[in-house]
Structure 1
Amino acid sequence: MFSKLAALTAVFAVLPMFALAQSGTGDATFFSPGLGACGVTNSNSDPIVAISSQIFNNGLCGRQMNVNFQGRSVTVTVVDSCPGCGSGDIDLSPSAFSQLADPSVGRIQGVQWNIV
């Protein structure tokens, strides 16, 4: 009985780590950051991301995300939610977006990302 309880406790202790392991593919846009949902104020030059409110939770605040698009990549920090984003879409700071594409395009499709 004790070993079953210990095993279940171990499984439930590890589950939150898997729940936070997120990845996706979607569109990327950029925004002018300020005070985000994580309680941190950021600027246009900070490498940050707002993620869809469908997957955002406070456990993701401060987590790093690798973002890839057509052979370019950038690492950003989750600081905000994006209520207007679809489930795989992300909203980057202008400096992070410019590492993936020219900001004049406004939106890029097929961006792959994963939270590390």
Structure 2
Amino acid sequence: MGFQIRVLMMLGMSLCLASIVLAKQGTSVFYSRPYLPSACYSYRDQGIMIAGANPTLYDNGKVCGRRYKVRCLGGTNGTPNPCKAGEITVRIVDLCTGCGANEINLSQDAFSRIANIDAGRVRVDYIQV
């Protein structure tokens, strides 16, 4: 029985490490209200925990409705300690035409839960859930 528990623990730790490896690192900015219309849902409200995808991630709308966990890793512009603890889950509802590769555009409500708004831009990692 002890061997089986150790094997299950090792498997669980491996899965956790795999999710860290699969997460993309990039940057995040935010956009302010109103959050409508959106490229994916037009004027149908999708709440406040939402995001716009960069053109590559957006993939002609294939990413619409998918959820991503996002975590702040640090600042980009010298703002001391811009990150807040924890992670958020957002739904992709829009295309961010001005976003660069690996950039995700969070709603202001979502951004403010993981980072200080005054930072404006932070380093993040994100992964589809």
Q: TM-score scaled by structure 1? A: 0.71
Distance 2:96 2:37 in 1: 13
CA distance in 2, matches of 1:95, 1:73: 13
Paired with 2:115 and 2:64, the residues of 1 have a C-alpha distance of: 25
Please tell me whether residue 78 in structure 1 is matched to residue 80 in structure 2: no
Partners of 1:49 and 1:76 within 8 A in 2: yes
Query: Which letter maps to 1:54?
Result: T
2:30 match: 30
Q: Which runs of 5+ in 2 are unaligned?
A: 1-21, 74-84
Q: What letter matches 2:51 in structure 1?
A: V
Partner secondary structure for residue 55 of structure 1: helix
1:40, 1:79 within 8 Å by CA — same for their partners in 2?
A: no
Q: Aligned ranges for residues 1-116 of structure 1 at < 5 Å? A: 23-32=23-32, 33-41=35-43, 42=45, 46-57=48-59, 58-70=61-73, 71-109=85-123, 111-116=124-129
Runs of 4+ in 1 over 4 A off after TM superposition: none
Mean alpha-carbon deviation: is it higher for 83-92 or for 66-75?
66-75
Local SS of the residue matching 1:56? helix
Q: In the comparison of the two structures, how many residue pairs are matched?
A: 93
